[in-house]
Chain A
Amino acid sequence: MEHESGHVVEYATLIKVWAALVALTAFLVAASRLSSGAAAWAMLLITPVKAGLVLYFFMHLKYEKLLLKTMAFVALATLLTFIGMLFFDISFR
């Protein structure tokens, strides 16, 4: 039987994603020096984008079948639900 193989992601794509990750890290560090409010917003906005870039391109999630995408979505949504429930609990104590 012929071996199945994953999608080939070109080097240029990978390098662009890496450059974006380094640039976002620079933004994150710069924002954290401005004020604690800017640091919190930068963390909430930039960090998930960075994680998303790694998951989507480096981890090939973009090129996976719908089954795997759905599984990843359900797992992450579960985790986010728990984090959300925690903050409801803390803020309404």
Chain B
Amino acid sequence: MSAGGHKDYQGAKIGMWLFLFTEFMLFGGLFILYSGSRALNPEAFHHASRELNVPLGVANTVILLTSSLFVAAAVTAIQKGRRKTAMRLVGLTAASGALFLVNKGVEWGAKFHHGIYPNGPALAHSPPGEALFFGLYFIMTGLHGLHVLAGTVLLCVMLAWLARGRIQPDDCVALENSGLYWHLVDVIWIFLLPLFYLAA
């Protein structure tokens, strides 16, 4: 940005982490709700989880883990002064985010097709515990999906900033913080996989 402007690297990092803590608490509240609901409806959660597509969930996990590697490597690349490499890696990360959302769309589409959505025909006649499971599934993966979308947009902005030279080897905290956000999205999915897909 403008030459001579005051920059506070530690401040920028701490600010981002404080925001990430609020995100942990946001999802943490939902994890508490999930744990409580599952403890009260163990059979229904076990049964409803069978409806989920495990290969698709695992594929999305590998996509997010790999995209996390890409963005972490992009930070390393820019710190080493390799702007082109950093741009390629950030582009790959954003593409992975888009692929994740496509998979999620396919998955949700199949659920809707089978009448599995809040107040949908399949859930209206199933035990209340199963409706609860799918309510939490749609809320938690939906909120996570919104984060993936926000992260993908943010990474596209970072790609533009890299191209314009707004991110430099000695001044790359914007890319580091965007990477932190992307890793947070990955960490949340790490918990969502066993809670929903592997609970059967």
Asked if B92 CB lies within 8 Å of chain A CBs, one says no
**How many Å from the CB of B12 to the closest CB on chain A?**
10
A sample of 24 inter-chain contacts (CB < 8 A) reads A3-B9, A5-B170, A6-B75, A6-B173, A8-B76, A8-B79, A9-B76, A14-B76, A18-B68, A18-B69, A25-B58, A28-B193, A43-B195, A47-B191, A51-B190, A54-B68, A55-B183, A57-B72, A67-B14, A68-B13, A83-B28, A83-B32, A86-B35, A90-B39
Interface membership of A11, Cβ < 8 A: yes
The residue of chain B having its C-beta at the shortest distance from the C-beta of A79 within the complex is B28
State the Cβ distance, B93 to closest chain A Cβ, in Å: 12
How distant is A21 from chain B, measured CB to nearest CB, in Å? 5
A38-76 vs B, Cβ < 8 Å mask (1 yes, 0 no): 010011000100110011011110001101100110011
- With both beta carbons as reference points, the residue of chain B lying nearest to A28 in the complex is identified as B194
Q: CA of A9 to CA of B71 in the docked complex: distance in angstroms?
A: 12
B10 is contacted by which of A14, A60, A65, A82 (Cβ under 8 Å)? A65
B164: A residues at CB distance < 8 A: none
Contact with B24, one of A3, A32, A54, A79 (Cβ below 8 angstroms): A79
- Interface membership of B112, Cβ < 8 A: no
Chain B interface residues toward A at CB < 8 A: 6-7, 9-10, 13-14, 17-18, 21, 24-25, 28, 31-32, 35-36, 39-40, 46, 54, 58, 61-62, 65-66, 68-69, 72-73, 75-76, 79-80, 169-173, 176, 179-180, 183-184, 186-187, 190-191, 193-195, 198-200
Contact B186 A54 (CB under 8 A): yes
Chain A residues numbered 1-33 whose CB sits less than 8 Å from any CB in chain B? 1-6, 8-11, 14-15, 17-18, 21-22, 25, 28-29, 32
Residue of A nearest to B55 (CB): A29
Taking A3-B7, A58-B68 as given, write out 8 further A-B residue pairs in contact, using a Cβ cutoff of 8 Å, ordered by the A residue number.
A5-B172, A14-B73, A47-B190, A54-B68, A54-B183, A54-B190, A59-B179, A86-B35
| Pairs A-B, 8 closest by C-beta atoms | A32-B198, A4-B9, A43-B194, A18-B69, A75-B21, A79-B28, A3-B170, A58-B72
The answer to whether residues A39 and B186 also contact, given A29-B54, A79-B24 and a CB cut-off of 8 A, is: no
The interface residues of chain A lying within 8 Å CB-to-CB of B169 are: 5
Of the candidates B72, B191, B198, which one forms a contact with A14 in the assembled complex, judged by CB atoms under 8 Å apart? B72
Other-chain contact of A51, B14, B171, B191 (Cβ < 8 Å):
B191
Complex-state Cα separation, A58 to B20, whole angstroms: 15
Q: With the chains together, A29 CA to B61 CA distance in Å?
A: 11
| Nearest CB of A to B37, in Å | 10
Q: Are A82 and B32 in contact (CB under 8 A)?
A: yes
Whole-angstrom CA separation of A79 from B188 in the bound complex = 14
Could you say which of B10, B176, B190 contacts A50, with CB atoms under 8 Å apart?
A: B190
